[in-house]
Each structure stands twice: as structure tokens, then as C-alpha cells.
Structure 1
Amino acid sequence: MEQTESLIRAAQAQQNPDQRIKFRYDWLRHDLGKMSSGIRNHLNDPSSQPRVIEPLIGDYRR
């Protein structure tokens, strides 16, 4: 997960500013942060009970 940041930065740098539909890299980073946090929480405190999970944005185009 941590290695994706360099890929995101590279893709963001290549984004065409005149594009009609923009890719929301901030939303992608937010979702990746949620996933990392969920994995970390599970590894630190595994539970047999289901947890409430906040939904991901999932669609990063605007």
C-alpha cells in the first residue's frame, strides 16, 4: 500500500489539466488510507466479530 503513493504521484503529474473528466487522486488516497487503517487495525486486534466498515468512494472521476 505504501508503494502506491509514488505511482499515484507519477500518474497525477501526467494528468492533462484540460481533461473534461478529472481523476480525483485525493479520493483515491483517502480510500487507500481507509484500507491501510482497516488492515492495521485487524492485525493489531483480530476479532471474530464483524466490524462496521465505512464504505469506500470507489469512483474517482469527477
Structure 2
Amino acid sequence: MQTGPELHALFAVILLQCLPNEPVNLWNRHKHQICDDLHHYLLQGGIAQPSEDQIYDYGLFLLESIST
């Protein structure tokens, strides 16, 4: 079962519809779980050793693309 895209979509819905008071803190608390599947996608995209920052940046990029 692939849950990564569903988790990204759920987090986007929470941000857009629930308007949490501290979205950055929410992101910082849960970014590891939200982005845990993205290392694989970056490897496939040609990044041999993606850093944590690259993984989290990609996660934010995906969230932004969901919300637009």
C-alpha cells in the first residue's frame, strides 16, 4: 500500500482547510513522517545522495503543487 501521496494530500488539506495557528510548527513536528518516502523519488530523479534538506524541500514543493 502506498500512503505517501495520500499523507501529502491530507497534510495539504489540513493546511488549507483547517488553517492551523502555527503551520510551521506543524510541519516541523511531522515533516519526517510526511517525507519518509521521498528519498526514493529523489534517487530516481538523479540525486545520488539526497540530503535531509533536499528531501524536506521536495516535500514542501509537493505540498505547494497540491495546494495550487
> TM-score scaled by structure 2?
0.34
Pair member with larger Rg: 1
Greater relative contact order (Cα 8 A, min sep 6): structure 1 or 2?
1
**Higher helix proportion:** 2
